[in-house]
Amino acid sequence: MQPFSSFGRGIRRWRWVLVGAYVAVWIAGSIAGGRGAAPSAPPGTTVIALAAGGFVCSSIRATLSRRRRRLLLSSWRRLTRWEYWPLWAVYPPVVIWIAWLGVRYRSLTLFTAANPAIPASGVVGESKFAILRGLGQPAAWIARSGFIPRTLPPPARIATADAFMAVHALSLPIVLKPDQGQRGAGVVVARGRRELETYLEEAAGDTVIQEYVSGVEFGVFYVRRPSDTRGRILSITEKHLPSVVGDGRRTLESLILDHPRTVCMARFHLARQHDRLRSVPAAGATVPLGDCGSHCRGAQFLDGRRFRTPALEGAIDIVARRFEGFHFGRFDVRSPSPEAFARGEFTIIELNGVTSEVTHIYDPRISLLDAYRALLGQWSIAFEIGGENARAGAPVTPAWVLAQTTATALLRAPRTIT
């Protein structure tokens, strides 16, 4: 039986070459004018035929492979759904609008005065840990966080993490993330000791260590003009972390490829779940595919305006006003339940400054035109608040300083989102 098995594997391995060769010969014969006319074919016909045969062969293979078909669907959906477009494809109109606002207000960087308490108002490169400290107490509203300098040798970093966890009576899982990071890059929920140690041994920059807060996650964009007695919520984003549900038959890979949402980021999920793709989850078992509420890591963002209540708005305003010099930005929070969130019960895990987005725009139901309306409106408010603060004496970051800071931050940014 072994020789026949080897022969079968060989046939399967070379079947596409055989198909391609057959197609190439058929095309060459057709071009030459039919059977027996191949010798009189024009120069280059064979090359063209082989190329065409290879293309047809690849097309056939892509069509017949289910995995490839689903990955093609993934690429198509990412192309046709703007929420997956890269920033360089989405932001040109926004950049033009910001330039127009700069001309209108006679200062291209006036928005850097929107949050005097944060360097450059939080354009890029700001310290996440320093911002959390600016919020102060009560601790019930802020996730307990610590700072691990990059200057420490790896053993000292691990010892600092252990000391932080001991002081706050915390155990694994624990959150580790770059002190200066963007869009979820480098954020890890360490569930095992080895994962924690590996992260701290390899960290290239300062690290924030933070308690893991369970529950549902939301993004709340807050604005308050200096002349206003109270702030308001501009946007609420309801975040759903990526997951699939097992049926006891399909592998995790098939579940990812078959799910209407996870297929859109199939390549990312398949790479991250590489070690368990062949496992078969039990029927009804929910398999989480991520811990971070970041859109670029697979989380689904929905418009959460239905959660805007006087209780929530009041609670957010109280916390924001404790940070003197903060007027404009997005809180990322977790809450035990949607109902608790609407009652104003939440824990802040991060606060982002002037370049944070009103992320409800990534709701699949929101058109690109409506997203632009929201983004342009957001930046208009940033310039208005910056102008009011500047008139009161707040510093405006010069354009050349902002460009230098941005370049430095981009060079130091994590290269992967592990």
pLDDT in the model for residue 65: 82
H helix and E strand count, the chain: 14, 11
- What is the residue extent of each domain of the chain? 2-64, 98-142+216-241+290-418, 144-212, 242-289
Q: Please, which pLDDT band fits residue 17 given cuts at 50, 70 and 90?
A: very low
Which CATH architecture group holds 144-212? 2-Layer Sandwich (3.30)
How do residues 170-220 score in pLDDT, each as one tens digit?
Answer: 999 999 999 987 766 789 999 999 999 999 999 999 999 999 999 999 999
Average the pLDDT over 32-55 and give the result. 50
Total count of residues recorded for the chain: 418
Encode pLDDT of 57-72 as tens digits.
565 555 568 899 999 9
Q: Which whole number is the average pLDDT over 63-89?
A: 92
376 vs 237, 332, 366, 381, CA distance in Å?
A: 18, 21, 15, 9
SS3 176: strand
pLDDT at residue 19, as a whole number: 47
DSSP 26-78: HHHHHHHTSTT-GGGPPTTHHHHHHHHHHHHHHHHHHHH-HHHHHHHHHHHHH
Q: What is the pLDDT of residues 247-261, one digit of tens each?
A: 999 999 999 999 999
Q: Is 190 helix (H, G, I), strand (E, B) or coil?
A: strand
Residue 46 has pLDDT above 70, yes or no: no
The answer to whether 253 and 277 have CB atoms below 8 angstroms apart is: yes
Assess whether pLDDT exceeds 80 at residue 87: yes
Mean pLDDT on 322-347: 96
The per-residue pLDDT for 36 is: 41
Residue found under tokens 């039919």: 34
Q: How confident is the model at residue 7 (pLDDT cuts 50, 70, 90)?
A: very low
By percentage, how much of the chain surpasses pLDDT 90? 74
Give, to the nearest 10 degrees, the angle between helix 368-391 and helix 92-105: 30
- Confidence band, pLDDT 50/70/90 cuts, at residue 125: confident
- CB neighbours of residue 340 within 10 Å: 13
* pLDDT(136) > 90: no
Could you tell me which of 7, 13, 5 has the C-alpha nearest to residue 61? 13
3 state SS of 318: helix
For residues 164 and 149, give the distance between their C-alpha atoms in angstroms, rounded to a whole number.
Answer: 13
Give the residues across from 238 on adjacent strands.
218, 302
Q: From CA 51, how far away is CA 44, in angstroms rounded?
A: 11
Q: How far apart are CA 349 and CA 174, in angstroms?
A: 12
Give 92's contacts (C-beta < 8 A, 6+ positions apart).
none
Cβ(110)–Cβ(97) under 8 Å?
no
Predicted pLDDT at 44: 56
1 has a pLDDT exceeding 50: no
What phi and psi values does residue 380 have, to the nearest 5 degrees?
Answer: -60, -40
Q: Dihedral through CA 159, CA 408, CA 116, CA 228, nearest 10?
A: -100
DSSP reduced 3-state for 166: helix
Q: Is the pLDDT at 107 greater than 60, yes or no?
A: yes
Question: Which amino acid belongs to residue 207?
Answer: T
| Residue whose structure tokens are 């594997």 | 9
23/143 Cα distance (integer angstroms): 63
Q: Is the pLDDT of residue 159 over 60?
A: yes
Average pLDDT of the chain, as a whole number: 86
What's the mean pLDDT in 288-304?
91
Residue 6 pLDDT grade (very low, low, confident, very high; cuts 50, 70, 90): very low
> What pLDDT, on the 0 to 100 scale, is given for residue 4?
36
What stretch of H or E contains 270? helix 266-272
Taken in order 345, 350, 351, 355, the sign of the CA dihedral is negative
Residue 11: per-residue pLDDT: 41
pTM: 0.82
Is the CB of residue 112 less than 8 Å from the CB of residue 396?
A: yes
Would you say residue 266 has pLDDT above 70? yes
pLDDT mean over 326-349: 97
pLDDT at residue 139, rounded to an integer? 67
Residue 418 is predicted with a pLDDT of 38
Contact in structure between 206 and 149 (CB atoms under 8 Å): yes
Residue 290 has pLDDT above 90, yes or no: no
